[in-house]
Structure 1
Amino acid sequence: MNRLIDKLAIVLICLMSIVMSDSFTAPVIVTLATLTVSAAVQLMTGSVLAAVLIASCSLLCGVFPLMLCSLPLLLYDALWEKKWWLTVPALTVLTKLNMLSAEQLILTGAAFAVTIIIYKRVSNLEETVSVLTSLRDEVAGKNRQLAEQNLRLAAAQDNEIHLATMKERNRIAREIHDNVGHMLTRSLLQSGALIVINKDEQLKEPLESLKTTLDSAMTSIRESVHDLHDDSIDLKKVLEDSISTVDSRFKVTLDCDVSENIAGNIKLCIIGVVKEGLSNAVKHSKGDRINIIIREHPAFYQLMLEDNGCCTEIKESGIGLKNMSDRAAALKGTISFTPSQEGFKIFMSLPKS
């Protein structure tokens, strides 16, 4: 659009000199011819035909001197084509300058000057816009990289906080178990001994009540310790640690997609089955790849562990397979073992409590 506006300004200056011609038809023909060629050149920017059209019209100036008055418009197109020298053939008009009036030559010279000034202004403006666009794109790219880096840092920080929380829960569980648990155990033993040696019937009931209270406290402490310990288990980290101990001939991949609030007994079951499955694969599989996939669904969890070693049948139900079955059954889940030519697959499904 800016280029069309600039060309309109140039055309108006050219018309001022063209209309000074004594002829009536020549200005119309020259104007229409120049406008047509200029429009064609703009449509075919960068083509050989565009360059030929500009050079041909420039050469016609030597035949029709009035064409010189419209040449600034073609010079503008030539400058955009980066081929200003295409207007050089117009110098052939020098032998016929006497056919143009002084006013026409002055206006034509002014048109040439305006054309060059407009081109310089617009080209510099477009260059500036191009630079600013590049800077904008670069800044946008940097902002995206910074946002991604911030997300990574936030994720790493959250992970560190999570691990620190898990360690603190483990420490508290150990403290309760080692200190309070032992003290309650000693108190239970002492109360039991007192009940045995007591001969006073009036103390029998209070001692029984004390022992019951201590039993209840011990049960509550035990449950709390188990809950703290189970919650402090980082499922993915434990699995990764287990994978790191697998024989180097296996390439093990882990795809674990579960939430952090998974129940402790579910975690322990998955960890136990994965460890047993990895151990069996190392002992019996002749493959070199193990894939582990863990998924959380709205109502249940799924585990799939498979290797690529050839296994057509399960020769015997070893203790390892039985342990895995018992773990799944204890949580009302199901587990299956599928041997095939492509490998051995363990598939377990555990309902959410």
Structure 2
Amino acid sequence: MRVLAEEGVLLALGTVLAVMTGIRTDAVFIAGLLLAVSVTGLVEWLHADERWPWLPCVAYLIVAAAVPAWCSFMPLVAYDMARLAAAGRPSRLVTAVRWLWVLPFAALWFVRVSHAGVAAGAADANSHMQALALTLTALLGFVAGRSREASDGNRRALLHAQDMAREASRSVRSRIADIDEERAQSVRMATLGERTRIAREIHDNVGHLLTRAIMQAQAGRAVAEATDDEVAARGFTTLGETLDDAMTMVRRSVHDLEDDGTDFAAQIEAAVASFDGISPDFSVSLANDVDTAPAPVSRCFATVIREALANVAHHSEAHEASVTLRDFPTLWQLVVQDPGPAIRARDARGRCRTDGEPPRGMGLTDIESRVRSIGGTALCGPYDGGWRVFVSVPKQRWHASPESCAKTDQPAFMKTTAGTLGNRGKL
């Protein structure tokens, strides 16, 4: 908008000076005015292309050298020529072309000087005054164009600097966010590791000591009952009940710490990553909607994923497999599927198996038994030309009391105690 206003002022100034200095405003003058306006518009249109903006200006200069009346509009053309560098990278050609506006005025002054001896008096002075006014006006237009070019260059440099600053700021913010995320992840992993260590220490130390104390109390009660020592028997019974309560509290604490120390997403991602890219043409996609789950469920799902993907790698020609976990209001769902086809193997008799006789290996049996141990169901079989492992685990039992949840994932020493003592003292 500023460029348009400055060009309008220069055009009006050139026209006024032409009228004041006595230049005839005939058809040639009007044609020069229209041509100058057209050249300016064409230069603005070609401004984005750094190769051709100078061409209309040079064409006008050539004609203006032959038609002196058109020099009245040279301020406008000089303004455009001064801004040629703003259209692209400054070059030697642009530097040379931008000063060509001087040539028509050189021709004009040559004509005035050559006719100085012929003209006389006031006419000669008026002619020189006219040439001087047009030259100074054109010089003013050139200076205004250079000023506008410098202003545009500074504005572009400022915008570039602002863009670079914004890009640097975004990069810094992104880096800070990544560092914060890495720090939070490190803190979380350290916390989970510490909780797991504490649970392991309680399991290995306090749990075994309590188990031994319960067994000693049971043995003492048995001896007291055998010797008809009722006082000692009641004391050992009370001691056993106290130890049972302590064992229950320790069991609850161990499983709470173990659940808190289990990163469900990390376990699932590790299970998938162990088979993703196992061969150059095999990939595994993961879609996990489950944020957290109890430790037994996490371990079961991770084991099922590994076993199912191992079956895909060994018994299928598929180049990809998908692992999908969904978190429904009442259950967790796991689906491991490959598009097939299955590898056609031969049985012990050399008979080729058919699609209707899918082999049932120990892997599928292990999957089903593991899922049943946590109260879920597993369906393994052909599906849509491939093979699918479909697992669902209800949430109801895991949202009940901690004791009922803990019984599905008892440590070895607690199972031994359970077999020896019955329902009392189990962890």
| TM-score > 0.5 by shorter chain | yes
How many residues are matched?
352
Partner Cα distance (1:274, 1:351) in 2: 18
Partner Cα distance (1:351, 1:54) in 2: 82
- Alignment-derived partner of residue 321 in structure 2: 291
Indicate which of 305, 309, 312 corresponds to 1:278.
309
Partner Cα distance (1:108, 1:23) in 2: 11
* Match runs of 1:172-191 below 5 Å: 172-191=198-217
The change in CA–CA distance for 1:209 and 1:155 in structure 2 (over 3 A counts) is: same
The change in CA–CA distance for 1:24 and 1:69 in structure 2 (over 3 A counts) is: closer
- Alignment-derived partner of residue 8 in structure 1: 8
Give the Å deviation of 1:171.
0.9
Partner Cα distance (1:167, 1:279) in 2: 28
Give the Å deviation of 1:118.
1.3
**Is the CA contact (8 Å cut-off) linking 1:294 and 1:301 kept in structure 2?**
no
- Alignment-derived partner of residue 363 in structure 2: 320
For 1:154-209, what per-residue CA distance to the aligned partner results, in whole angstroms no more than 9, with x for missing partners?
A: 22222212221121111111111122112211221221122112233234334322
- Alignment-derived partner of residue 214 in structure 1: 243
Q: Quick check: 1:348 aligned with 2:410?
A: no
Greater mean deviation of Cα atoms: 47-56 or 63-72: 47-56
- Alignment-derived partner of residue 145 in structure 2: 119
Q: CA RMSD in A?
A: 3.4
Partner Cα distance (1:49, 1:205) in 2: 110
**Is the CA contact (8 Å cut-off) linking 2:82 and 2:143 kept in structure 1?**
no
Give the Å deviation of 1:134.
1.7
Indicate which of 325, 336, 340 corresponds to 2:379.
336
Partner Cα distance (1:219, 1:49) in 2: 89
Aligned-partner SS, 1:186: helix
Give the Å deviation of 1:214.
1.3
Partner Cα distance (1:264, 1:232) in 2: 8
Partner Cα distance (2:150, 2:56) in 1: 26
What amino acid maps onto 2:42 in structure 1? V
Aligned-partner SS, 2:209: helix
- Alignment-derived partner of residue 74 in structure 1: 77
Structure 1 alignment gaps of length 5 or more: none
What amino acid maps onto 1:84 in structure 2? R
**Is the CA contact (8 Å cut-off) linking 2:220 and 2:233 kept in structure 1?**
no
Aligned-partner SS, 1:310: coil
For 1:310-345, what per-residue CA distance to the aligned partner results, in whole angstroms no more than 9, with x for missing partners?
A: 323453434432332344445554433233685422
Indicate which of 176, 181, 184 corresponds to 1:158.
184
* Match runs of 1:206-285 below 5 Å: 206-239=235-268, 241-242=270-271, 248-249=278-279, 251-255=282-286, 257-258=288-289, 260-282=291-313, 284-285=314-315
What amino acid maps onto 2:325 in structure 1? R
The change in CA–CA distance for 1:314 and 1:122 in structure 2 (over 3 A counts) is: farther
- Alignment-derived partner of residue 37 in structure 2: 36
**Is the CA contact (8 Å cut-off) linking 1:38 and 1:77 kept in structure 2?**
no
Partner Cα distance (2:30, 2:359) in 1: 102
Partner Cα distance (2:231, 2:312) in 1: 65
TM-score by length of 1: 0.83
What amino acid maps onto 1:37 in structure 2? S
**Is the CA contact (8 Å cut-off) linking 1:285 and 1:309 kept in structure 2?**
no
Give the Å deviation of 1:351.
4.1
| Amino-acid identity (%) | 23
Partner Cα distance (2:284, 2:128) in 1: 88
Q: Quick check: 1:204 aligned with 2:233?
A: yes
* Match runs of 1:141-152 below 5 Å: 141-152=167-178
TM-score by length of 2: 0.70
What amino acid maps onto 1:207 in structure 2? F
Partner Cα distance (2:186, 2:163) in 1: 34
Partner Cα distance (2:187, 2:211) in 1: 34
Structure 2 alignment gaps of length 5 or more: 85-93, 116-123, 343-354, 397-427
Give the Å deviation of 1:86.
5.6
